[in-house]
Each structure stands twice: as C-alpha cells, then as structure tokens.
Amino acid sequence: MDSLAGIEGFDKEAFDRVHTSGDTITSIRLNPLKGSVLNRDWPVMQLHDASKDEIYLSQAIVESRIPWSQSGYYLSQRPSFTFDPLFHAGCYYVQEASSMFLEQAIKQTVDLSRPLRVLDLCAAPGGKSTHIQSLISKDSLLVSNEVIKTRMHILKDNCIKWGADNVVVTSNDPKDFARLPGYFDMIVIDAPCSGSGLFRRDKSAVDEWSINNVALCSQRQQRILADAWPSLKEGGILIYSTCSYSKQEDEEIMDWMNEELQIENIRISIDREWGIVETVSDKYHSYGYRFWPFNLNGEGFFLSCVRKIGTEKKFSFRPKNKPEPVNKKDLPLVHKWISDSGHFFIQKNSIVYGIPGANIDDITMLLATLRVLYSGIIVGEIFHRDLVPAHSLAMTRFVNNTVPYMDLQYESAIDYLKRKEFNLQSKELGWIRVSYKGYNLGWVKVLTNRINNYYPRELRILKDL
C-alpha cells in the first residue's frame, strides 16, 4: 500500500474501501462473428429491455454497456458460464471490463479499414486476441502468441471457439519475432506483471505480491519490449498494458522506452465520465491511462501507446517450399463441408486447412519462421476417401449449408457438452452438426444403432449443475 502513495489518482481510503467491500464485477464481450444476442429471444439469453440494452444471461441481467467498448456489457451477477451452451458456442467472452479499453487504443491509433498485421505477444488466455480479431478487417492477419506451454492450449482453444479464420496461434519467445523485421503494423503487449490490479478479484495475487517481484517483472517487461521491437514497422503502433498499480511497471517502463527506443508518445481521447485517470510523465511527456477500481466499474489496469519512429529494414521472404495444396481429386470432399468463401486449401499429412486467400503468403511465411500451433481453419482429416470434419470447422460460419444439422434443447445440449448420451431424433445417418439456438456446438455421427459424440474430450464439461 505504501508503494502506491504519490501515484496520480491514488486515494488510500477509497482503495481500502473497495478492496474490503466484497463487491465483484462480471462483464462479457459479445462475438460479432456469431451475431448479436440482443436481437434474439432465448430461454437462457433473452431480450429484456432493448432500450436499456438489458438481456437475461442464465438468470443474470446485463445491466449496462461498458462505455469504452462497443460490444462489452456488465452483468448484474456472475452466472454459471459452464452451463450456458452459448458460452461454449463462442457467442461471447467473459472478460474484465478495464482491459476492454484496448478497443479505444486500437480505434484511435490505426486505420481499421485497411489490412493490418497485428501481433498479440502475450496472448493467453485469449481475451485481447479475440477482441483484436473483432476489430480488424477480414483481410487483416492476427498473430496470437503465448510462450508458456501450460497456457498456450487454452489460447488456441479460445481462438478456435471464437470462429475466425484470419488468426495464427504461435508459441514463441519474444526474441523469435526479431526474425520478422518491420513486419507488424501493430504489436499489443499485455505484459506479465506483479498483478496488484487484480487484488480485489484474485486473493492469491495479494499473497504473491512483493516489492522484489515488482522489480523482477519490470526487468522482464523491458526484455520483452526490446526483443519484440524490431518486428514493428516504421510508423507502427505498440500498445503496452499491465494489470499492475506499480509505477515501476507502468510509467517508468514508458520512461525506459523513451530512453532506449525511438518512439513518439500518443495521447488517447477519453471521456471524463469514464473515471479513467490520464497520467503524463514530467520527464518525457508520455501518456498513460490508469484504472482505479474506486473510480469505475473495473479492476486495476494501465495502458499506454507509442508510435515507432526511425527506420527499420523491411521484411522480405521467399518461401522455399509452399504448402502442399489439396489434391484435385479430394477437393470435392472438402467443398462438401465448407462454403466457397475464398479459402485456399492446403494439406499437411491427412489434415486439410482452409487459409483465407488474402493471408496465404503471410501464413506460408509464418509456418516456415515460427512455431505455429494453429492457423486458418482446420477443415478436417481425409480418411478412406472421406473427410472427418474438425471441431474448428463447426465453430465457424463457413460450414456448407447442405451439411445436415440438428438444434438441441437445453438438457440435450448440456449432455452433448459433457460427452454423455443424449436424445437426438434424426432421420439422417452420418455426420450431423448439432447446435443450440442456432449456434454450432460441434459434430455427432449417427449410426443405425447409436450416436457417436465427437465433442473434443479435452473441452467437455466435467462437473454437474
């Protein structure tokens, strides 16, 4: 607490009060790829009062819009998201409200109407990556990276559930991106930090916090920034954020960037009613944006933006080996499952990937340069002159309309998500796409005497309601 004294906007009495109140804030961000839930009438998520943007979400009313995010909403309480099929369908992401301020930073610093190459460097579990993807154009490309092995699979799973095809998920150390000099138009670094901004939400963060840990995090943040910097193009934007209150991890990092890197500090326009505190460094006149939980409905957060000045050699790449396209005789199998939407279909072993035509050269290069976990859409696996559809295909809007589907009632949807037996009255045999309220959940295969549930085992619901 003493370490916060003198930081602009800090109020010890208000800080104590909000952290001992026991109050919690729950917020979600809707997925524009899956359509607006505000215009639908559903038992689990249904329209309540359109004039107030209120909906019911598993008995929790969406009370108001998060003012700095077009698709972010506050809930009246925290429902059991595990038992909402729409959560598993990727209709929304449960995300802390303050971190959605990233939307303002992006909208105010880049031209979102043109194709962009964006790197989310420290991306797990995927909140900022799914947010970025919702803002950029369909011809843009997002590289979503996580170096920590225990966190990279949840990032991949959340990107797949979001249903986008212009995302590449990687697992590389920040220094590896120096192989791509001047490549990215924007880099977002939500840096690993001491976590003091999460004290109210996560009590374990209090026990793990220390002055020494702050110093270690500050050094790590400088290394991450220095390693990633060469991959940002001249004139490109870097957005830096933490969930820490410490100046050593926030304003002092901005001072370090001014001293060590060639940057132009950027000011973001904010509404006074939002309760965000703008800080300005006396030394370098760099702007930062602090979120104090006693001023607004959100947790502790800090964000700052800079533009790269000076020169950086442009990246050039000539692939030695292009990805192997799907054999022409197998293309009819692929087109049976995925709509004709400008994808280029490549095949690695027996797995078929659908890559957006606008991104094929970039993804070819990234496959040869980085450790790629996932890219585009996995359409399925060719097996004995047939294609076994992948779960990732079901999560997208590109499934061919001719593919049979069945909409499940709530109880059956939960049983499906648990990989249990469930009632499905189908006259069709073979592969069927199952959905809930029109939103895809995955695949089943109907045989004459049973139904095989193909929901991914690692994603299944393990607990009971």
> To which residue do tokens 């954020």 refer?
241
User: H or E stretch including 130?
Assistant: helix 127-135
pTM, two decimal places:
0.93
Q: Which domains does the chain have, with CATH numbers?
A: 26-96 (3.30.70), 97-308 (3.40.50.150), 319-400 (3.10.450.720), 404-465 (3.10.450.720)
Torsion of CA 117, 121, 126, 127, to 10 degrees: -80
Residues 6+ positions from 435 with CB-CB distance below 8 Å: 89, 405, 406, 407, 408, 441
Exposure of 111 by Cβ count < 10 A (0-12 exposed, 13-18 middle, 19+ buried)? Answer: exposed
CA contacts within 13 A on the Cβ side of 53: 13
Q: Residue 222 in 3-state DSSP? A: helix
Q: The tokens of 214 are what?
A: 């702050």
Q: Write out the DSSP string of 143-175.
A: EEE---HHHHHHHHHHHHHHT-SSEEEE---GG
Could you tell me which of 299, 302, 344, 305 has the C-alpha nearest to residue 326?
A: 344
Q: How far is CA 349 from CA 324, 326, 382, in A?
A: 9, 10, 9
Backbone angles phi, psi at 89, to 5 degrees: -80, -5
Q: The tokens of 359 are what?
A: 């991104």
pLDDT attached to residue 39: 45
Query: What's the N-to-C CA distance of the chain in angstroms?
Result: 40
Q: Where are the alpha helices (DSSP H) in 116-264?
A: 127-135, 149-162, 203-208, 211-228, 251-260
DSSP classification of residue 92: E
CA 156, CA 154: separation in Å to the nearest integer? 5
Question: pLDDT by residue (tens digit) across 100-113?
Answer: 999 999 999 999 99
pLDDT attached to residue 41: 34
pLDDT attached to residue 64: 86
- 27: which strand partners? 74
Could you tell me which of 403, 345, 408 has the C-alpha nearest to residue 376?
A: 345
The overall longest dimension of the chain from CA atoms, in Å, is: 75
pLDDT attached to residue 48: 41
Q: Write out the DSSP string of 307-339.
A: EE-S--PPP----SSPPPBPPGGGHHHHHTTB-
Q: Are 318 and 298 in contact (CB under 8 A)?
A: no
CA 436, CA 455: separation in Å to the nearest integer? 14
Backbone angles phi, psi at 256, to 5 degrees: -60, -40
Residues of the chain with pLDDT under 50: 39-56
Could you tell me which of 49, 7, 134, 33 has the C-alpha nearest to residue 341?
A: 33
